Structure 1
């Protein structure tokens, strides 16, 4: 079926008289398995087809969504009409990659989610939920599994025709004590189901950590010295920096663009940040982006100096830069935007213990509940916080919020661990009213000399 769709799209764009024509097709199935205590709920698989036609005529874009392959040509015609009658300022011709014809199939990785029956997935959720509940002793436990499998095709009039079959799956563990204190973990992967097997020790530890934190106390707000774990390091990079170097955001915010221009020093020499869409085991990875440009590794900061922004073909043309393969469309019928894929802080040489030894009186921060940015400022809710005395974890404290300016925090990085780890989410990054898209983020443990904690 997807082969027929691809061939029809190739014929359609080949006949287009536009300066540039493009067809994007997505055909996906979604399934969900939920175990909450003794209650279970399973849905799916639910299939969905979506298509987008996009054309560039006389330096203006036109775009149109279609819901069946029979309407593909009509959508191309409507997109052309939109471009012809568009009143927006003219745009430079997009920086398109050379023609490419290729395919990628996650199902070749074993075992793929399709190799595991629905009964096995439901059993695994029930098994983990019972184990988590037994570890807690009191309170509630919930385990959910989500799966999204399917095909994505991008065809354009420059000769590109690529097909990517992706298998994305996620399992989330949530525990809540009677007083409302909670803890959660999410494991999301691309490709193989193998990562979800044998998680008993991690689940038991999740319950034990929560029970121990029931004795936590408060601290006074203020600026302090901290060590953050890999997940929180990734969230700081994602929320505090990554969104700021998405080029279409910077085009609307010239003051921020000036402060983050390539060549500008904004961080400690220990800071090296990358975005790599070719890390194919993680959500957010793409062999090709939603314009058919090859995914790649992009150095965003090297030794504290800004090296690049994240670009689509259009933003690259407007900034006289190279496309970075970061064009992502959150919804059908929506123009691709420059978005992060797998963004991480490059590891250093220190162990976690060596970083903690540099804390005489500070905090160890682990995990997160959520985060937000406001231009160059950020705030992140931390899931676990511990006081540290002379390099040793002392006692848990109530969950805290860290905040500050991105340049201040990145300049305060004094140590980087050698334990890089990435975490992914299937629906974790939304922007400008669009749907949440898969992303991954991570880093090693970081020692930060000063950060605002409240």
Structure 2
């Protein structure tokens, strides 16, 4: 395949400033249950690709579903780029790379029958349904996908990357006596081994336990509180509220954010370090090369409390005259790469959880995430679970915990960072491309004066 793509692009190397071809072959299985019903079983094979060309600053993107039309589609991409280009192409320089990245396999799901996969997920679904009579229904899904992406460009790079994702998501919905409805979720992900989903009964049941526990919770009293975020919610917060602000396409097009996000600016206490790291092993956002062929890296968005880096594509790095970071990503080869996060997290600090809550007379412990939204520098998150902190101890469960604030002020209000850490898998949305495989992580984090809204 790579030789065929190299031959196809060769005649057009000088026709425009830049051209690239990405082709992706994939095979996928998906199984889902809703309550007692088997909702869907899907098995698919695909081959598709995209061609991106740039000339005088003008970009074009053309997709295709078969290699027979490749030459025509390359010519279409080039003619469109020539039509729209009116300026100067600015791409950060990158030396040509030749590489093949293979998956290190454990138990390969492609060697298992559809029946075996369905039986495993059906058993987990049964456990959730039978956990408690207050469990009304479930939402359980399984997915495995193996893909090979071929990338060639007009500057001589040729990169082939294999990728395997195996995941399962477990949701339970509980209803109380007074019609109160609560939800609990759990997810499991592996980049290499089907057996990561085997023998996880207790973890699966965590979804049902959380839903039932929250039925007894009373609505939290609204107001300003000292809030402790669990690692899951701390990771989601830093991804949603700050990570997207670090994506250079957003900053480049927004003069106000250029002022607020000047590199070298103090953002938080010196103990706060925020990373975006595509090199961490085995996580959903881990990769060797991004979708422009740039090597993956570990970046410090905030280092010792100081704004240190932002995330780039080749174009944003060229226009802003900053270093490449390897953050141009697309959900598949039929979408153009845009600036996206990989594995984004707060690095652990030195505070134990006991010390973090020990001097809080009254506060809120916010756990997991139910939903939320961001609007520029403002955010609102709904926690999946909540507990009061009283006299330095975790106390009764509370519900309807909604956290609201300005991200820049909230970063300044972080006053303790835990010595633990946890990464969880996620799917990120941006520019019509969702879900992109990422992970979020962090330790427990304590924040003072958070606006907490109840029912």
Q: Normalised by the size of structure 2, how large is the TM-score? A: 0.94
Alignment deviations for residues 213-240 of structure 1 (CA, whole Å, 9 cap, x no partner) = 2111122211210111111001100111
Task: Indicate the residue corresponding to 1:67 in structure 2.
Answer: 65
CA contact (8 A) 1:34 1:145 kept: yes
- Work out the CA distance in 2 between the residues paired with 1:328 and 1:142: 29
Give the CA deviation at 1:407: 0.9
Identify the match of residue 9 of structure 1 among 5, 11, 17: 5
Alignment deviations for residues 105-130 of structure 1 (CA, whole Å, 9 cap, x no partner) = 22x32023324332222111111112
Indicate whether 1:34 and 2:35 are aligned. Answer: no
Task: Indicate the residue corresponding to 1:22 in structure 2.
Answer: 20
Give the CA deviation at 1:97: 1.9
Task: Indicate the residue corresponding to 1:147 in structure 2.
Answer: 144
SS in 2 for 1:271: coil
Give the CA deviation at 1:312: 0.3
Task: Show the 5 A alignment for 1:212-251.
Answer: 212-251=213-252
- Work out the CA distance in 1 between the residues paired with 2:44 and 2:130: 33
Give the CA deviation at 1:210: 2.6
Indicate whether 1:444 and 2:414 are aligned. Answer: no
CA contact (8 A) 2:387 2:397 kept: yes
Q: Please, which moves more after superposition, 49-58 or 360-369?
A: 49-58
- Work out the CA distance in 1 between the residues paired with 2:279 and 2:21: 23
Alignment deviations for residues 42-64 of structure 1 (CA, whole Å, 9 cap, x no partner) = 42321222211122333433321
Q: Please, which moves more after superposition, 125-134 or 298-307?
A: 125-134
- For structure 2, the 5+ residue unaligned runs are none
SS in 2 for 1:286: coil
- Work out the CA distance in 2 between the residues paired with 1:209 and 1:380: 18
CA contact (8 A) 1:96 1:293 kept: no
Q: Please, which moves more after superposition, 219-228 or 326-335?
A: 326-335
SS in 2 for 1:177: strand
Alignment deviations for residues 208-265 of structure 1 (CA, whole Å, 9 cap, x no partner) = 3332221111222112101111110011001110000111111111111221121111
Task: Show the 5 A alignment for 1:92-131.
Answer: 92-106=89-103, 108-131=104-127
Alignment deviations for residues 77-110 of structure 1 (CA, whole Å, 9 cap, x no partner) = 11110111115x524331142111111122x320
Distance 1:96 1:26, change over 3 A: farther
For the aligned residue pairs, the C-alpha RMSD in angstroms reads 1.7
SS in 2 for 1:167: strand
Task: Indicate the residue corresponding to 2:53 in structure 1.
Answer: 55
Indicate whether 1:171 and 2:168 are aligned. Answer: yes
CA contact (8 A) 1:373 1:379 kept: yes
- For structure 1, the 5+ residue unaligned runs are none
Distance 1:288 1:337, change over 3 A: same
Q: Please, which moves more after superposition, 238-247 or 414-423?
A: 414-423
Give the CA deviation at 1:373: 1.2
Alignment deviations for residues 410-433 of structure 1 (CA, whole Å, 9 cap, x no partner) = 1111111122111112xx211123
Give the CA deviation at 1:76: 1.2
CA contact (8 A) 1:112 1:167 kept: no
Q: Please, which moves more after superposition, 219-228 or 293-302?
A: 219-228
Task: Indicate the residue corresponding to 2:387 in structure 1.
Answer: 386
Indicate whether 1:287 and 2:288 are aligned. Answer: yes
